Amino acid sequence: MDIGFIGLGSMGSAMALNALKAGHTVRVWNRSREATKALAAEGAKVVDSPAEAFAGDAVFSMLADDAAVRGVLIDSGVLERAPKGLVHVNMATISVAFCEELVTLHEHHGVMYVAAPVMGRTDVAVAAKLNILAAGPDAAIDRVQPIFDVIGQKTWRVGTAPQHANVFKLAANFMLASAIETTGEAASLMTGHGIDPHAFLDVITSTLFPGPVYQGYGRMIADQRYEPALFKAHLGLKDVRLAMAAGEAVNVALPVASLVRDNLIDVLAHGDGDKDFAVLGQVAVRRAGR
């Protein structure tokens, strides 16, 4: 396929590289041109504007948040000039309300829109093992499935309304945040009683709570090791806030999310926003006076 890729942070760069390795033609754009150099060395074509990426069979975008998507794709007029019938796959975690706005704008300009946020951190993206939550017209997803197949291990089709993919992702990240919060509190409880949290987490992750979330984040919390960050705390805060907004829109209270949000604000207040999401464990330690 001939695709464009917009947004070359750690996640976007990994996905674009895997598409290149699979033999696809990839045109790349990023606000900072420095991020395009490694991909150019692998055969990517660097373009000078987002509009040039909106060509070929499809364009993928992996931008940081609502504001970045709006600035790059809407305020710049890119959608207005995009070829009719092009498929745009937005892989960013954005708000449900903004996704609904994007659906309307894409329909107005004759561009097919697929929301496809992913589950998995940077290391998972590098290994092409992402789980992709895709929602949109079946024909549009079918067209880009060859790319999904080389950047992820499974594509979960979660509906024809693109915003449903964002609801799925926000609910998943809310659960992730809650798991990290309770793991940090439990580890602090162990330490308070003079018990090595590593021993506790070895038992828990081998019995009641096996799996990558409790094992991976639990190890970081027990080690009090929050760098290098694979998922930065300030991005976690963004997602928790978006989950709360999605809940409020349909009168669904998320009281645990409120607690996690406040603790993540505490993280940022202590200058730790760029540390890994697991730094929630440090909040529990700090609250216990240690």
The pLDDT tens digits for 85-122 are 999 999 999 999 999 999 999 999 999 999 999 999 99
Name the nearest CA neighbour of 278 among 226, 227, 239.
Answer: 226
Q: What pLDDT does residue 127 have? A: 98
Catalytic residue, candidates 169, 232, 238, 275: 169
Whether residue 84 lies in the annotated active site = no
What are the E-state strand segments in 76-227? 87-90, 112-115, 118-119, 130-134, 152-157
Tell me what pLDDT residue 290 has.
Answer: 83
Helix pair angle (233-249, 255-269), 10° resolution: 150
Domain ranges across the chain: 2-161, 166-287
Domains 2-161 and 166-287 share a fold: no
Tell how strand 58-61 and strand 87-90 pair up. Answer: parallel
- The closest alpha carbon to 39, from 53, 57, 21, 22, belongs to 21
Distance CA 225, CA 271 (A): 15
CATH of domain 2-161: 3.40.50.720
Query: Domain 166-287: which topology?
Result: N-(1-d-carboxylethyl)-l-norvaline Dehydrogenase; domain 2 (1.10.1040)
Asked if 281 and 180 touch (Cβ cutoff 8 Å), the reply is yes
The SS3 of residue 157 is strand
Report how many helices (DSSP H) and strands (DSSP E) the chain contains, helices first.
Answer: 15, 9
What is the pTM assigned to this prediction? 0.94
Question: Over the stretch 210-248, which tens digit does the pLDDT of each residue have?
Answer: 999 999 999 999 999 999 999 999 999 999 999 999 999
What confidence tens digit (pLDDT) does each residue in 129-164 have?
A: 999 999 999 999 999 999 999 999 999 999 999 999
Task: For 22-45, write each residue's pLDDT tens digit.
Answer: 999 999 999 999 999 999 999 999
pLDDT over 90 for what percent of the chain?
A: 100
Model confidence at 69: pLDDT above 90 = yes
Q: Alpha-carbon distance 63 to 245, whole Å?
A: 20
pLDDT of 256 above 90? yes
Mean pLDDT, residues 42-52: 97
Written as six digits, the tokens of 163 are 């915003």
